[in-house]
Amino acid sequence: MSNRVLDISLTVNGERLQTRVDARKTLVDFLREDLALTGSHIGCEHGVCGACTVRVNGEIVRGCLMLAVQCDGGSVETIEGLSDSGEVADLQAAFEQRNALQCGYCTPGMLATAQDLLKRGDVPSRDEIREHLSGNYCRCTGYHAIVDAVEAVAHARAGAKK
């Protein structure tokens, strides 16, 4: 009943898969090493930096603070999935346009977290954007350009809906 190696089945970016994982393997290591989905980055490995942010069962989580084995039966979406589906295409374009990234290390986590806020459907204030992104470190931009980009997309999406 308890084991160091376990069989799991899960959906990653819409694809069903069955595999065997070490119990000790974190979700982000599993994504990067076993599935070669290297868009999820590893920064601090203790939940502080947010570079490993992915969606599990529709909600953003820290990929370093969840075990792969805990995703058995669940659904995981990474930046690769969010990119391919076009769900964050407008955010990606806005980040590029406003120089909301330099080295890009934090960007996958930033995009996943920003999309988590924007999918609520309203237009958040700049303070709300900052608060929602508070768990994602960026050491390049000073955040202003990121907040600008997220705000612009929020307005654009609200405008497009009218």
Partner 1 sequence: MKPAPFAYAKVRTLKEAVALLAKHKDDARLLAGGQSLIATLNMRLSAPELLIDINGIKGLDGIAKKGKFVEIGALARHAQVEHSDIVARHAPLIALAMPHIGHPAIRNRGTFGGSIAFADPAAELPACLLALGGEIDIAGPKGKRKVKADAFFKGLFETALRPQEMVTAIRVPAADKNTRVGFAELARRHGDYAIVGLAASARAGGKGLVDVRLAFFGVGATPVRAKNAEAALASSNIDTAVAALDLAPHDDVQATARVKKHLAGVLLRRVAEQLMEPRP
The residues that touch partner 1, with contacts defined as CB under 8 A, are 1-4, 6, 22-24, 26, 29, 45-47, 50, 53, 59-62, 64-67, 69-70, 72, 113, 116-117, 130-132, 134-136
Q: Which is nearer to partner 1, 3 or 18 (CB)?
A: 3
Cα separation, 123 vs 128, whole angstroms? 9
Q: DSSP string covering 9-65, please? A: EEEETTEEEEEEEETT-BHHHIIIIIS--TTS--SSSSSSS-TTEEEETTEEEETTS
Q: Which is nearer to partner 1, 97 or 134 (CB)?
A: 134
Dihedrals phi, psi of 77, to nearest 5 degrees: -125, 130
User: Minimum distance from CB of 159 to partner 1 (Å)?
Assistant: 25
User: Minimum distance from CB of 82 to partner 1 (Å)?
Assistant: 15
User: Minimum distance from CB of 72 to partner 1 (Å)?
Assistant: 8
Handedness of CA 142, 147, 148, 153 (dihedral sign): positive
Cα separation, 110 vs 105, whole angstroms? 9
Q: Which is nearer to partner 1, 142 or 159 (CB)?
A: 142
Q: Which is nearer to partner 1, 25 or 93 (CB)?
A: 25
Q: Which two tokens stand for residue 10?
A: 């899960």
User: Minimum distance from CB of 35 to partner 1 (Å)?
Assistant: 17
Q: Which is nearer to partner 1, 93 or 123 (CB)?
A: 123
Are the CB atoms for 19 and 8 separated by under 8 Å? Answer: yes
User: Minimum distance from CB of 162 to partner 1 (Å)?
Assistant: 27
